[in-house]
Structure 1
Amino acid sequence: MTMLDCRLHAYRSDLAEAGLEGKVEAPRFTEGTPARVAVPVVALRPEPDLARGIDTELLLGEDVTVFDRADGWCWVKAASDGYVGYVKADALLEGRPAATHIVTVQRTFLYPEPELRKPHQAILSMGSRIHVAGETEARGNRYVVLEDGTAIFAKHVQPIGALDGADYVEIVARFLETPYLWGGRSGLGIDCSGLVQLAMLMTGRAAPRDTDMQAAGLGQPIDRSELRRGDLVFWKGHVAVFEDPETILHANGHSMTVARENFAAAVERIGWLYEQPTGYRRPIS
């Protein structure tokens, strides 16, 4: 049997997703059941163990397929990028209404009712998906109201699809100063490849989750001399967005933030520890 990337293919010694029948060995195959993320952010891990590192994160309203439930954990595959891993079972719900809107600012607050003076119930990241049941105005501010009566400032959301085709580099720049978090994929904390993926998803474009996946198949390879706004610069285990001939934008462990950095200086600094860039790609033709 061919070895498949376990990050993108759900198979274990005891169970595998139905689409892998004939490709992997397992005593049982399953189609799984659909569910949606019901919390602001949930970590997806390679094992059902809180001590294990985070592979990635899923945001409120994102769809998953659940293949197994055991001991308070769910083994899932994310609909947006196919990533496989374990999340806490209480972070998922079945039967939630399909999302109508998406959060378009770096972070926003979920209020118990349409009133900004009320204590907020949660912080939602850009990319969070919500089902809007209605709109209302309170003291001159417009709010969208969710099915449970909670509310979000209306200017902080847009209908899903409204940003398709927008400048993803501008979306990346909205995350400046966001803390760096290994495996992070939200406005609360984000890593380099998560930043690229989330910004592209916000503009209606799919992108793989991890740096090696992006370096292997996102867009087309180019030469360094061809670099222009929006192109990607790769190092071993790292990616940055080319903003202009002088600067890159990237989430990095040097500043521990999403930062704007001089391109030449970054190449020299990173090269001291991780060698020179390994490649360049144009994600959008």
Structure 2
Amino acid sequence: MTVHDPRLHAFRTDLADARLKGEIVADRFVAGRPARISVPMADIRKAPRPDAGVNTQALFGDDVLVFEDADGWAWIQAERDGYVGYVAETMLGGRDHAPTHIVSVPRTFLYPGPDLRFPVAGQLSMGSRVTVTDAAETRGTHYAVLASGEAIIAGHLRPIGEVVSDYVSVAETFLGTPYLWGGVSGFGIDCSGLVQLAMRMAGRDVLRDSDMQAASIGEPLDPGPDYAGLRRGDLVFWKGHVAIMTDAETMIHANGHTMLVSREGLKDAIGRIGYLYGGPTGFRRP
């Protein structure tokens, strides 16, 4: 990462975040306008075009700062991990209600009211933040009623601030989830997105991309001969890839080989990945 990585700092030659004034050169500096993601997943793109590559995603309820609105696109920075990019303006709303709960299962449904027999009104991923205003029970099923009037299964939420102790157990709930470049949700996720979301549910916000994670999460680790020093929760990095150790010999990762979140033996992965990308570039213990 550079001192002013454009993925983590909002600056262009014509416009920049006011907090960077005096550090970089730009024609104009502006303070970010607070906004919130109002759709289940918002693709954060490299450029303000529908055909531009997706770098990452923001989830429903994520807070962002908006530095520019132009031609249907907003130039934003996600407050949780600092990622900068472009989203469609229609994906943004105001911060009308303070979120109270977070989705704690990989995927869940929204209903127009507290009844699972109602037609589904939407879907949310783990990590989405919602505002619960009421509770209801229908035929023995408990629902949380949201500020929008929609309902969600109460057992699929937990209060914001309540975290799990083992982030690996969160990652394991995503087994079988499709691989998606730039994905950070239960509907599609990539390798570093899996690390980020699982750690978020354990109360730890980390940076988004694998190179950022390799430079910032925990401490470097020497696994020793034959990788015998690895344990559950350790991270293994390759060029452009990261995996989570589930025990001393097995890892879980979102990968382009199976196009799923899957388990794989570490030594098998090293052998398979090596001919294209070389061996592991580092190990870290969160």
Ranges in structure 2 where 5+ consecutive residues have no aligned partner: none
Of the three residues 269, 272, 275, the one matched with 2:272 is 269
Residue 248 (1) aligns with residue 251 (2):
yes
> Could you list the per-position Cα deviations for residues 34-82 of structure 1 after superposition, in whole angstroms to 9, with x for gaps in the alignment?
0000000010011101111110000000000001101111100001100
* Partner of residue 133, structure 1: 133
Could you list the structure 1 runs, at least 4 aligned residues long, displaced by more than 2 angstroms after superposition: none
Letter in 2 for 1:59: L
Residue 11 (1) aligns with residue 14 (2):
no
Q: Distance in 2 between matches of 1:54 and 1:95?
A: 25
Residue 219 (1) aligns with residue 222 (2):
no
How well do the aligned residues superpose, as a CA RMSD in angstroms?
A: 1.0
Shift of 1:3: 6.4
Residue 122 (1) aligns with residue 125 (2):
no
Shift of 1:27: 1.7
* Partner of residue 60, structure 2: 60
* Partner of residue 143, structure 1: 143
> Could you list the per-position Cα deviations for residues 163-218 of structure 1 after superposition, in whole angstroms to 9, with x for gaps in the alignment?
1x520000000000000000000000000000000000111101110000001111
Shift of 1:123: 1.1
After superposition, residues 110-259 of structure 1 pair within 5 angstroms as: 110-163=110-163, 166-225=165-224, 226-259=229-262
Aligned length: 281
After superposition, residues 38-53 of structure 1 pair within 5 angstroms as: 38-53=38-53
> Could you list the per-position Cα deviations for residues 102-146 of structure 1 after superposition, in whole angstroms to 9, with x for gaps in the alignment?
000000000000010111111100000000011110110000001
Letter in 2 for 1:103: V
Q: Distance in 1 between matches of 2:54 and 2:27?
A: 28
Label 1:238 to 1:20 Cα distance change in 2 as closer, same or farther (>3 A): same
Shift of 1:96: 2.4
Normalised by the length of structure 2, the TM-score is 0.96
Letter in 2 for 1:40: P
Ranges in structure 1 where 5+ consecutive residues have no aligned partner: none
Letter in 2 for 1:250: H
